[in-house]
Chain A
Amino acid sequence: MNLILLFVAVICALATVSSSHRARKLFVEFENEQKRMRDLEVEWSQLQLEQSTWANHARVEKIAREKLGMHPPVAGRVVSVEGR
């Protein structure tokens, strides 16, 4: 009887060790993912900044006027369509 209890105790001890090891490993993984999340957030904010710099109205207007030769429609060349 005692022998069985000893055996169970040993097994429990080993299980504790292995599960705490697993927990740490998972935690490290979790930390890495969180770091990745933060890095991606930073990258996203930089991309947003880049996008808004490229899409700057002044730049869009300049390119439309100079490169593409566009201009605002003159009166009389606008057709308005009634919405449903």
Chain B
Amino acid sequence: MRVKFAHSPVLSQALPPWRARLLLGALLLAFAALAGRSLYLQGINNSFLQKKGESRYERTIEISATRGRILDRNGDVLAVSTPVKSVWAIPEDAQLTPAQARQLAQLLDMDVRELMRKLTSEKDFVFLKRQIAPEQADRIAALELPGINLQREYRRYYPVADVTAHVLGFTGVEDVGQEGVELALNSQLAGQAGSRRVIKDRRGQIVEDVESIKAPVEGRDVTLALDGKIQYLAYTHLKQAVTEHRAKAGGIVVLDAKTGEILALANLPTYNPNNRVKLVGAQLRNRAFTDTFEPGSTMKPFTAALALEKGKYRFDSQIQTAPGKLTIGTATISDAHVHGMLTVAQVIQKSSNVGISKIALTFPPEEMWQMFDSLGFGHPLKLGFPGEVGGRLRPSKLWRPIEQATMSYGHGISVTLIQMARAYLAFARDGDIVPLSLAKLEGLPPAGQNVFSAQTAHEVRVMLEMAVQPGGTAPRAQIAGYRTAGKTGTAYKVEAGAYAQKYVSSFVGFAPASDPRLIIAVMIDEPLGKDHFGGDVAAPVFAQVMAGSLRSLGVAPDAPLKPLQVVAAQ
């Protein structure tokens, strides 16, 4: 017989009423616990879970900033950072077939055995090759080898390499300037990497910008005063001279006389900034800034200028230089040739030590010191180059008469090449000196500081022009089409406190003499050939660079364009 559910005997038994209530109570309690827990998670302690959630879709990504470029005054690139790839591997994952290994080794330009040695090393991570060319990297990526990966890095390139090495310097691994302009103007060039937080979807695409934590600051470009063409001319001709005379070192500086901008600066020996594997200290020296030398006769025009300025002598005052010797105390100053009676102008033209010493000794030491000081000798230029020095200029109170005399022809005082070039601004301009500038100037150059009167500067220019003409010490400094002016220097080097039979040959000059546009200072350290006079070693470099530079700048000739009649130097 079918029993209906409602009439089931099981149901007819009466249950104690507390059971239902207990069950209801238990369920309510459980509910309350759940509600409490969710309230706790949602409302009170929600930051932990939120963080967990965010970490699943939010990413903080680095935004790299590139270092600024260095340009020359014409906008040509001298230094630029460009991304390159580095190849790295996880040796454990990199199980290559011999054919794959050979292919990879070929692409990396490596020996197969060396590659295998790296891939079987115990380390977790090995660089196979750093900073490879982009095409190479693309081809390696196309192989899709297991465990071989590419990483993006920045590398700085210097397209003209050794020509601009000392001016530009270089950067270290961290892309921070180490030398030269890279160091001097690092704060402008350096970029600052930024970062931002984004939301990524499951395909790894960025779908939303949450916030920019730090905006990246791109490095600023720097436009130098340097003229690439003049720099190239200066470098190649200096190199030629240093090789020809088997010299130890050399330096050249080209200044714009109108603005004080540094148009070229080169030193030898040099190096290739793109490949600094076998670098030695001598190659790194930025000699024009860091090495002082006793300039020799290139110093004479300053004393002559002081003589004219103070009215003690006129352009054509007579000075007796016979018998070519002058004894002061225990020391004797002598001339290479005996000249007899000379005018002040001829003392400069013939470069007479005796003549200039006689002039120098008519001044109180303070007056001479004052002049050297206002010309910038004795203190560094502060252009920001590492290791800039100021040379040696002793206080005038300590000068003995013999020192005062030798200083007039550039011994017992030491200067850097760039200081020497700068001091000649006083002659090339109308007696004033403007600050030098490494960066290209916009607008007018800053006001100069007067050292000599315009009249004095003009008269010294005439003397310096005589020095490069037949009868002077540097006829080889002449160039076709332009009037040049300048002064030679041949100084003995001081070694261990005494003068050695080694020389520094130099030449400082400017052109066109009628309205000077460029100043070039050349220094050749220890020429070993039969020539060692500044007029034979340094002056030809001056002439070659000057001729090329003036032509490249389109400066109008101020002399008839006839082939030169160069008289051989004595």
Contact = CB atoms under 8 A, between A and B. Distances in A.
B205 interface: yes
A75 B82 contact: no
A72 B548 contact: yes
B541 to A, nearest CB: 16
A49 B206 contact: no
Residue among B69, B81, B561 with most chain A CB within 10 A: B561
Contacts, number: 70
Nearest to A77: B561
A75 B206 contact: no
Chain A, interface residues (CB within 8 Å), range: 20 to 34
A49 B561 contact: no
Interface string A4-26: 00000000000000000000100
Contacts of A45: 66, 69, 80-82
Contact of B160 (A24, A57, A78): A57
Nearest to B162: A58
A2 interface: no
B109 to A, nearest CB: 20
B564 interface: yes
Contacts of B424: none
A46 B76 contact: no
B81 to A, nearest CB: 7
Contacts of B232: 57-58, 61
Interface string A29-49: 001000000000110011011
A28 interface: yes
Interface string A50-61: 011101111001
Contacts of B556: 80
B7 interface: no
Contacts of B147: none
B481 A78 contact: yes
B563 interface: yes
Interface of B: 66, 69, 76-78, 80-83, 134, 157, 159-160, 163, 205-209, 228-229, 232, 236, 480-481, 548, 551, 556-557, 561-564
The 7 closest A-B pairs by CB, nearest first: A75-B480, A57-B232, A52-B159, A52-B77, A45-B82, A24-B207, A75-B563
11 contacts: A27-B208, A28-B206, A28-B207, A51-B77, A52-B159, A57-B228, A58-B236, A72-B548, A75-B561, A75-B562, A76-B563
